[in-house]
Amino acid sequence: MPVTPPALEVENLTFRYLRRERPSIEHISFRVEPGEILLLAGASGCGKTTLLRCINGLIPHTYRGEMQGEIRIFGESVRGKSLGEIAQRVGTLLQDPERQILGSYVIQEVAFGLENLGLPRQEILRRAEQALERLGILHLRDRETFLTSGGEKQKIALAGVLALGPRLLLLDEPLASLDPMSAWEALQLFRELAAEGIAIVIVEHRVEDVLAIQPHRVLYLENGRMAYYGDTDGLLQVVDAREIKLPAPEIVRRVAREKTKPQAPVHRPRSRGEALVEFHDVHFRYSNDGRAALRNIRLTIHRGEVIALLGHNGSGKTTLTKHALGLLKPTAGKVLLEGQDTRHLTVAQAAHTVGYVFQSPSHMLFAPTVRQELEFGPKNLGFSPPRIAENVQWAIRTVRLESELETPPLALSFGQQKRVSIAAILSMRSQLLVLDEPTAGQDYSTYRAVMDAIMQMEEVETILFVTHDLDLALCYADRVLLMYDGQIVADGRPEEVLADEERLRACRILPTSLLRLNLEYLPRTGRFLCAEALAQVIGE
């Protein structure tokens, strides 16, 4: 009886990019059997994406460097094989779906790979629609890809991969742009695909979410090397909880065991001031799309507030925040920025007050080096050379990328690009900072450090962040807005908005272990706390 070879075998793999002195990954060895799920975890920049590029052939065909070791797909070495040959067996979902989507319409995008295989038209349509239906987005079939949200783009890109029927699936941060319910549905789909015999490698910072589907094994990288390879129980014993966000009860147990006082998020005392941005009965619909993206928005953002904006994929969160900068103008109603109607302001004028970090860094990064990227905004705002230099140094330290100032931004990992895009806006010292998914692609340590630094900025009077990370909202925000289907359905303190589980689920938001623990101890604390601070209360 023939023995089925492993879906993936990696032996003693080492890779160093050109123009880099040190290898990005060193001596990596593991295997994945058909029907198995491997979770690949580690801090930002530890080599996870580089490892995937070696497996799917982007290294050495697209990214150049020096590679040693062996990779076998279903028993066959990838050496000498073309990207097309590898792609017929290996499907890849990139970290940034903006880089993967080429078609103008959703159905064209999902059918693109099938067309390249030369399949009959009816077969192409059948498989494309089947993939869309499996991901619950068949209703997007004829929509322009440009008019879909970041989370919807993530699902569209995944549908294009699944339509090809790969037997080995590489998923790079597949949950990063998904609302909690969509993330849960995606994970259930991955478990179904594994049951059908597909081997799956998931790179993900949302470790707690992936652990819920019980991956067969975990590979944990530190600085490009294997720090752990084994079952999930063993991971919890060796992982650094400052780098990887663990379930809240596990953090509480660790704090109690270690008997040390952990660092809690930093909050600079703020006082609520006058109105900075006002939405008066705002409606908006995209000109070539019949849907109402925003409906009857009445909202005032005051100086001194830290606001979290939550909602499902396609609920209108990004559309709303773009109105604050004047990137979009209301179809009806009006938006006032410091009392001025945004219809009469240019984006350049609004940028003196509002700093906007896009969800996808590819929408922002263009300069030859990180330093020039960070200098661009302050120069256009008329800052003096000494102040520009000071701002650039402060911003790059804030996002922990001091060593990358002379690096081309697009040569960095997605997580690092995201931090550069944040630093580019920080260097402008805007009064209102709008962050669209600021923690996407970031490890726990980095996103805590960046958020803590932003919270301490004296020049930034007001912060508005769009997020699917419920724990980020309850740890940092003093006000939460909840959107559903283009409307604001809840607005208030985190303890008020997030306590209604029925409403959260109706808006496709799932309670986390940290939220449940906070609600349990709310009578004692009076406010929501991060897991580390909550552990101190519980231990008293």
Pairing between β-strand 294-302 and β-strand 432-436 as defined by DSSP bridges: unpaired
Predicted confidence at residue 520, as pLDDT, reads 94
Residue spans of beta strands (DSSP E) within 485-531 = 487-492
What torsion do the CA atoms of 362, 488, 499, 301 make, to the nearest 10 degrees? 70
Question: What pLDDT digit, counting tens, does each position of 139-175 carry?
Answer: 999 989 988 888 888 899 999 999 999 999 999 989 8
Predicted confidence at residue 522, as pLDDT, reads 94
Pairing between β-strand 462-466 and β-strand 354-357 as defined by DSSP bridges: unpaired
Comparing 129-143, 252-266, 306-320, the range with the smallest average pLDDT is 252-266
The region that residue 110 occupies, defined by phi over 0 for left and psi between -120 and 50 for alpha, beta otherwise, is alpha
Domain with CATH 3.40.50.300 in the chain: 1-89+167-239, 275-514
Q: Is the peptide bond before 378 cis (omega within 30 degrees of 0)?
A: no
Q: Identify the band that residue 466 occupies on the pLDDT scale cut at 50, 70 and 90.
A: very high
Give, in degrees to the nearest 5, the angle at Cα 101 between 100 and 106.
145
Cβ-contact 68, 127 below 8 angstroms: no
Question: What pLDDT digit, counting tens, does each position of 316-370 carry?
Answer: 999 999 999 899 999 999 999 999 999 999 988 898 899 999 888 877 888 999 9
Question: What pLDDT digit, counting tens, does each position of 477-512 carry?
Answer: 999 999 999 999 999 999 999 999 999 999 999 999
Cβ-contact 362, 418 below 8 angstroms: no
Predicted confidence at residue 540, as pLDDT, reads 65
Predicted confidence at residue 290, as pLDDT, reads 66
- Averaged confidence pLDDT in the chain: 90
Q: What is the DSSP letter of 99?
A: G
Q: What is the CA radius of gyration of the chain?
A: 23
What is the rounded average pLDDT of the residues 382-395? 93
Predicted confidence at residue 48, as pLDDT, reads 92
Predicted confidence at residue 252, as pLDDT, reads 84
Of 39, 357, 317, 320, nearest to 151 (Cα)? 317
**Distance separating alpha carbons of residues 308 and 322, to the nearest angstrom:** 15
Q: What is the largest distance, in Å, between two alpha-carbon atoms of the chain?
A: 78
Residue 373: pLDDT over 90: yes
DSSP labels, 374-442: HHHHHHHTT--HHHHHHHHHHHHHHTT-GGGTTS-GGGS-HHHHHHHHHHHHHTTT-SEEEEESTTTT-
The number of residues in the chain equals: 540
**Distance separating alpha carbons of residues 448 and 241, to the nearest angstrom:** 12
- With a CB cutoff of 8 Å and minimum separation 6, the contacts of 356 are 321, 322, 324, 325, 327, 425, 434, 436
N-to-C CA span, the chain: 62
Burial of 12: CB neighbours in 10 Å, binned 0-12, 13-18, 19+: exposed
Class of the CATH-defined domain 1-89+167-239: alpha beta
Class of the CATH-defined domain 275-514: alpha beta
Question: What pLDDT digit, counting tens, does each position of 197-253 carry?
Answer: 999 999 998 888 999 899 999 999 999 999 999 998 888 788 877 778 888 888 888
CB atoms within 10 A of CB 82: 11
